Chains A and B, each alone.
Chain A
């Protein structure tokens, strides 16, 4: 059974370039999360979607970051323009909420991550 799939696994780009990270959640899951992990700040939630709808994007650093989920099996995180301080590992996670909001318990399953280096 396939887990969360992310691509690319590694990305090296130059400052100012556009970067697009991709995620395929576990089939049947209805929530999707984008995280960023650095040594200094640990694991930070950037944005999450329920049923393809963005619910909370308060963790998105600034307008250079955007995320979309056009359907239940695909999401993108875009950085434009990229900066050296964006260098980090970006994780996508998905979960299945049994009762959206009131009683859902959120066991999230993570992908392998994309290691982004901005020169």
Chain B
């Protein structure tokens, strides 16, 4: 069964203190791994898609990387406005029919203090 596990559940950082969030996954035939950001009271906001092991993508202070078993979201010199819940999701392979389901992890709640 496809599964996504995110760690830590919560992370508190000081402004400028770099760190990484982890997303471990088991999926039959990974077609895509997605990172989303969710602010309180809002819907998840799409950040990145990673397709294959070794791939990296960057956006401002965020960099996402992918291996065959996990993905990392690296946050460099975070600012208070980076505070949010970060969600990871995977799209698995073809299973006897068209499938575009995403399996989401439970997220990491990031708090960046000034």
| A-to-B contact residues, CB < 8 Å | 4, 31, 33, 42-43, 45, 48, 50, 55-56, 91, 93, 95, 97, 100-113
- Inter-chain contact B100/A50, CB cutoff 8 Å: yes
| B-to-A contact residues, CB < 8 Å | 31-32, 34, 36, 41-46, 49, 51, 87, 91, 94, 97-102, 104-107
What secondary structure prevails in chain B residues at the interface with A?
A: loop
Chain A hits for B51, CB < 8 A: 105
Chain B hits for A97, CB < 8 A: 100
The one of A55, A111, A112 in contact with B98, judged by C-beta atoms closer than 8 angstroms, is A55
Per CB-CB distance, the 5 closest pairs between chain A and chain B, nearest first, are: A101-B98, A110-B43, A106-B100, A42-B106, A43-B104
For B105, the closest partner residue in chain A by CB is A42
Smallest distance from the beta carbon of B51 to chain A beta carbons, Å? 7
For A113, the closest partner residue in chain B by CB is B43
